[in-house]
Structure 1
Amino acid sequence: DVGYDSIKRANPKVNPWLAPVGTRVIVPTQFILPDAPHVGIVVDIAAMRLFYFPPHAPGQPQVVITHPVGIGRLGHPTPTMVTRVTWHQAHPEWIVPRSILASHARRGTPLPRVVAAGPDNPLGNYALHLSYPEILIHGTDRPAGVGRRVSHGCIHLYPEDIRQLFKMVPNGTPVRVVNQPFLFAWQNGRLYMQAYGALQDDKRPWKTDPALLARMLPHRWVTDLTRSDEKIDWTRVRRLVDDPRVVPLPVSGRGPVHGGLVATLVQNRLPLGSAWNGQTHLPLTTAQFDTVLNQIRSRPMPKDPAAADPPRAALTGKVSAHRRAGQRLRSHRAP
């Protein structure tokens, strides 16, 4: 399944709320995995997507289960963090934080101190508590907010998705929240890039610092790129930075581009001067790129074997785990 932002970016000319019957749409369901250890739960807030890597026996293939999420709004961002699942709660009540009570009171929409479990509870029917204070992974009473920035910092899923995740994820599962708006993967001898676009409050200079993008290349892709005759097409990279396509597209190689039809369908050029000064200082010169590659090679390899796994196209699957419920929900910033 996909969220609002992905559908909108993949289909910029289609009204996601009022698409006429018969409208042809692109559903972006192929993903480059975040550059993070493939263990437990990984959430990429730029992609507004959660990836769950359940435990697997040695020698068995790793399964990855992925769902879209809603994240914190401007002023209440979902933090990047490394944490873990501490306990499960079914049919949670929401103890409203004082800051949210005060905010609603100022707007003339007062809230009760405690919102009981039920169809109007912003936490939905299931919540995963984390060791990070005030942030939960939970359901929602407003599914239209999935794939959008609508929460006070918590991570929320479609009701049917959190129901399955709640059953699969055991207590103690590690959780990593990253912010990676541009991802790279090597497949069939070509370098692919998946561009989600930077969040509005991401202050890193993605449009003006090409070395920042180059550093997103994992160690293994640097080695493959160096050994092959492939060259990065920085014109394609620039276009994806300026106009994120959501779907993975090749940024190396010559000849017909695999997925070119998709690229044409979602092309949406930005006018000069929109959102920035219109100047994107790409591409890198060969000397600059070689310098960046040397910097990447000089970085120590991750000690965690899972951290060395390269991003690749994600496949979904299902596993079973355990659930726990019945504990009281502390005050947090969820809705």
Structure 2
Amino acid sequence: MISTARRYPLTRVKQLWLGSITLGAWLLASSAAASGSDSPRGHYPLPENGNMVGEVSTVAATEEDTLMDIARAHNVGYEEIRMANPDVSLWVPGEGTEVTIPGQFILPDEERTGIVINVAELRLYYYPDVKAGETPRVETYPIGIGRDAFNTPLGITKTTMRLENPAWYPPESIRREATERGDPAPAVVPPGAENPLGRFTMLLDIPGYMIHSTNQPDGVGMRASRGCIRMYPEDIESVFWRVPVGTQVNIIDAPIKLGWGANDESFVQAFTSTDEKAYGMETLLNVVGLIEQYEGGNPRSVDYEQVREVLDQSNGQIVPLS
């Protein structure tokens, strides 16, 4: 069963509101190191002196592209690409339109072991075991999670089984809803193109929950499932055989992240928490207080209005603080 125990071994962390604030140093690595150009999709060497991997980039859309096509090709999900390009058409970006790829990530302030899933961020982080002499790394992938009334549960659990080409047994609630719509669901959906679990599934030690592929990849990066965690088919295929049974899975809701740059710069990043409550004055004051606290104890002027604006927008963009 899922455990509600939480561990924060990397840095001191305060719980704020119903989420957590991730604190850490900001690593401004060189473009080659940050982009992981010599690594497979989503793979990055762990930073030695910080918690930042990847980089923001831009691409030019072709006539045939949708924004979701571009997102999938560059390892980001629906909400990530939409929030990074609010003025770009989702379905017809247009030939030559510049599209921002939000490919820079602050690692969750959790133990760097197994799988860490930040539901607020709609993103999964995997820290594979490495052999002696190998560079420790992290792999990160966009995910889909549970929609309203079907929130993905939080806490520490583990993987219990891997299934290739699984059959899907619709739960009673889905079958009942389908019957009420006049479109009865089958008792079992065999492997194939109509199976919503796709080709690969990793069961979790929470009855009824799993990390799986999908036959509807456009839903990756959305809150659209009944609680399970969806990945692009190519992403879960790339990790499926490398995630041992029994791997720890830590599911968190960390909607606010803070970081510091190499030149004593401060940054803030905010997402919408899964309970979608607005950030109040208490949260604002706590965020500002933590920025000041982690400036080496030195007094620092913080623009309250700027921090408030970032929290109000909650669009996942990494913003430098004046």
> TM-score, normalising length from structure 2?
0.71
Distance 2:289 2:237 in 1: 33
Matched with 2:280 is 207
Of 62, 72, 78 in structure 2, the residue corresponding to residue 4 of structure 1 is 78
Equivalences for residues 217-232 of structure 1 within 5 A? 224-228=294-298, 230-232=300-302
Cα offset for 1:177?
0.7
Residues matched between the structures, number: 247
Superposed CA offset, 1:228-279 (max 9, x none): 564433222111111133232212x4xxxxxxxxxxxxxxxxxxxxxxxxxx
Given residue 248 of structure 1, which amino acid in structure 2 is its aligned partner? Answer: I
Structure 1: which 5+ residue stretches go unaligned?
254-335
Matched with 1:250 is 320
Q: CA contact under 8 A between 2:266 and 2:320: conserved in structure 1? A: yes
By percentage of residues, which structure has more strand? Answer: 2
Distance 2:285 2:202 in 1: 34
Q: CA contact under 8 A between 1:32 and 1:194: conserved in structure 2? A: no
Given residue 236 of structure 1, which amino acid in structure 2 is its aligned partner? Answer: Q
Matched with 1:236 is 306
Distance 2:171 2:286 in 1: 38
Distance 1:233 1:226 in 2: 18
Superposed CA offset, 1:52-109 (max 9, x none): 0112357864311000000111111111121001111100110111111001111223
Could you say what secondary structure the match of 1:162 adopts? helix
* 1:97 has 2:171 as partner: yes
Equivalences for residues 119-158 of structure 1 within 5 A? 119-158=193-232
Could you say what secondary structure the match of 1:239 adopts? helix
Q: Which has the higher contact order (CA 8 A, sep 6+)?
A: 1
Structure 2 vs 1, CA of residues 128 and 212 (structure 1 numbering), >3 Å: closer, same or farther? Answer: farther
Matched with 1:197 is 272
Cα offset for 1:211?
5.4
Distance 2:166 2:248 in 1: 22
Given residue 271 of structure 2, which amino acid in structure 1 is its aligned partner? Answer: Y
Of 146, 163, 166 in structure 2, the residue corresponding to residue 72 of structure 1 is 146
Q: CA contact under 8 A between 2:220 and 2:232: conserved in structure 1? A: yes
Q: CA contact under 8 A between 1:136 and 1:154: conserved in structure 2? A: yes
Give the aligned CA root-mean-square deviation in angstroms: 2.2
Q: CA contact under 8 A between 2:122 and 2:145: conserved in structure 1? A: yes
Structure 2 vs 1, CA of residues 141 and 41 (structure 1 numbering), >3 Å: closer, same or farther? Answer: same
Q: CA contact under 8 A between 1:28 and 1:246: conserved in structure 2? A: no
Cα offset for 1:225?
1.1
Q: CA contact under 8 A between 1:71 and 1:156: conserved in structure 2? A: yes
Could you say what secondary structure the match of 2:121 adopts? coil
User: Of the two, which has the highest radius of gyration?
Assistant: 1
Give percent identity, aligned residues only: 38
Distance 1:215 1:237 in 2: 8
Given residue 166 of structure 2, which amino acid in structure 1 is its aligned partner? Answer: P
Distance 1:22 1:10 in 2: 17
Equivalences for residues 30-179 of structure 1 within 5 A? 30-56=104-130, 61-179=135-253
> TM-score, normalising length from structure 1?
0.68
Structure 2 vs 1, CA of residues 213 and 138 (structure 1 numbering), >3 Å: closer, same or farther? Answer: farther
Could you say what secondary structure the match of 1:95 adopts? coil
